[in-house]
Structure 1
Amino acid sequence: MYKILIIEDDRSLCNHIKEGISKWNFEGIGVQNFEEILQEFAKHNPHLVIMDINLPYFDGFYWCKKIRDLSNVPIIFLSSRDSNMDIVMAVNMGGDDYVTKPFSMDILLAKIQALIRRTYAYGQNDGQIIECNGTILNINDGTLTYNGEKIELTKNEFKILQLLMRNKGKIVSRDKIMRVLWESEFFISENTLTVNVNRLRSKLEDIGLKDFILTKKSQGYMIL
């Protein structure tokens, strides 16, 4: 089932859209916290976004750009604003389509289906990000974002975080991490892994992520 994140502060309209798309086996998810839309996007990792322009705190153009920094997920703007300038701005910020209110649910569904079909026909763009406690790992470009700050990761740092974040709440053994990093049963040195983890921790602390990676003595590492 494809997940669609609905960024619309009119609860009645949001529920109307959720009901309409559910008949075509789409799962509609309404945003709850309009101050932390990026975190909600990362948490749900949707296949498509429906975005209003007039929103609390920041407008839809702002959030579209923020989402585009993380993902190529299709974005449909749905707004009562119908000027050419608004439509051009939506496209420039990374929007894929634009529907004006009042709208026909049939037309919205047709646009959703077309974008889903075009984007996921060969399975591309699926699972682009991993989110843990507001920390977002971008699978496409190997970057990490937290509180609006983005850091570049080395190949090994990315592999370590990807493994730990996919196994959130579980201890990952040092042996398993080393096999992932060096793809071999013949480990180079346990100290090499320690150096990689310590460098990664230093980077994380620089953006406020202290104790993000926990050490479990004689067992391995984990993220809660």
Structure 2
Amino acid sequence: MQKILIVEDDEKLCRELEVFLEKNGYQTEGLKHFDNVAEDILRSNSHLVLLDINLPRTDGTFVCREVRRTSDIPVIMITSRNTELDELLSMNCGADDFVTKPFHPQILLARIAAVLKRVYKEAPQLEQIDCGSFILDITKGTVTVKGAGADAGGAVKEGCVELTKNEQKILLCLAKKRQSIVTRDEIISSLWDSEMFVDDNTLTVNVNRLRAKLEETGIKDAILTKRGQGYLLV
């Protein structure tokens, strides 16, 4: 699990960010003291830092510059000052991105994911994922009951069903954490770059359609609903 260090002196905002990011699958730590911020960042073993520009007794751009002397840890600057100069200063001190308050939480989440993906390049994705009784084929966008598949001409036969883009993303999100609960927020975040806007109701519709397709192949009760928590692929 990737860890995000939140360097924000507004205690209410810091706590809100901790709760939101933890709900979306990150480990978080909120810095409580600001006497040795650069040193604390380097000791935190975090994957990314959300760094406020306006801090008690110091300045976020100075802190970022100090961190950059010895570390390439990704830093997203947060500020209430929406000026081009602040953005330029943030980039010049080595920050990876710049977000202005107030910000939409999902936009911040998307920016965090983009920076983490860019810095910690993901290993090549498996073309096929073993989901127990069936196989999810990423390249073909299909679910196949073990022992079934496409015929010699490539046509889908019994025991194999094609998925839409969103259905595949939902199933992939569940498969990566198979037999563990995946929150609705985590799944919605994984669909953030989809062409279709995804809200809570849309997710429910997509999950129900995915279940129906799995049942077409004889796969029943593969996706369980954990009320108030999310979904689980058994």
Q: TM-score range by the shorter chain?
A: 0.5 to 0.7
Q: Which residue number in structure 1 is paired with residue 23 of structure 2?
A: 23
Q: Secondary structure at the match of 1:28?
A: strand
Post-superposition Cα deviations, 1:82-106, rounded to whole Å, max 9, x if no partner, equal 1111110000000111111011000
Equivalent AA in structure 2 for residue 4 of structure 1: I
**Structure 2 Cα separation of the partners of residues 23 and 17 of structure 1:** 10
Equivalent AA in structure 2 for residue 7 of structure 1: V
CA drift of 1:39 comes to 2.3
Find the structure with the greater CA-based Rg. 2
**Structure 2 Cα separation of the partners of residues 21 and 88 of structure 1:** 27
CA drift of 1:78 comes to 1.0
Change (3 A) 1:122 1:106: closer
Q: Which residue number in structure 1 is paired with residue 35 of structure 2?
A: 35
1:91 aligns with 2:94: no
Residue-pair matches, total: 123
Q: Which residue number in structure 1 is paired with residue 7 of structure 2?
A: 7
Q: Secondary structure at the match of 1:78?
A: strand
Q: Which residue number in structure 2 is paired with residue 115 of structure 1?
A: 115
Q: Which residue number in structure 2 is paired with residue 61 of structure 1?
A: 61
Q: Secondary structure at the match of 2:55?
A: coil
Please, what TM-score do these two structures have when normalized by structure 1? 0.53
Q: Secondary structure at the match of 2:3?
A: strand
Q: Secondary structure at the match of 1:51?
A: strand
Q: Which residue number in structure 1 is paired with residue 49 of structure 2?
A: 49
**Structure 1 Cα separation of the partners of residues 4 and 70 of structure 2:** 16
**Structure 1 Cα separation of the partners of residues 107 and 15 of structure 2:** 17
Equivalent AA in structure 1 for residue 71 of structure 2: S
CA drift of 1:19 comes to 0.8
Q: Which residue number in structure 2 is paired with residue 104 of structure 1?
A: 104
Q: Which residue number in structure 2 is paired with residue 164 of structure 1?
A: none
What is the root-mean-square deviation of aligned Cα atoms in Å? 1.2
Q: Secondary structure at the match of 2:99?
A: strand
Structure 1 runs (4+) deviating above 6 angstroms are: none
Q: Which residue number in structure 1 is paired with residue 137 of structure 2?
A: none
CA contact (8 A) 2:42 2:71 kept: no
Q: Secondary structure at the match of 1:13?
A: helix
Equivalent AA in structure 2 for residue 112 of structure 1: I
CA drift of 1:34 comes to 0.3
Equivalent AA in structure 1 for residue 76 of structure 2: I
Equivalent AA in structure 2 for residue 68 of structure 1: R
CA drift of 1:42 comes to 2.2
Q: Which residue number in structure 2 is paired with residue 135 of structure 1?
A: none
Identity, % of aligned positions: 40
Pick which of 99-108 and 27-36 moved more: 27-36
CA contact (8 A) 2:38 2:64 kept: no
Q: Secondary structure at the match of 2:54?
A: coil
**Structure 1 Cα separation of the partners of residues 122 and 85 of structure 2:** 34
- Structure 2 gap segments, 5+ residues each: 124-234
Q: Secondary structure at the match of 1:32?
A: coil
Post-superposition Cα deviations, 1:80-131, rounded to whole Å, max 9, x if no partner, equal 01111111000000011111101100000000011111111258xxxxxxxx
Q: Which residue number in structure 2 is paired with residue 189 of structure 1?
A: none
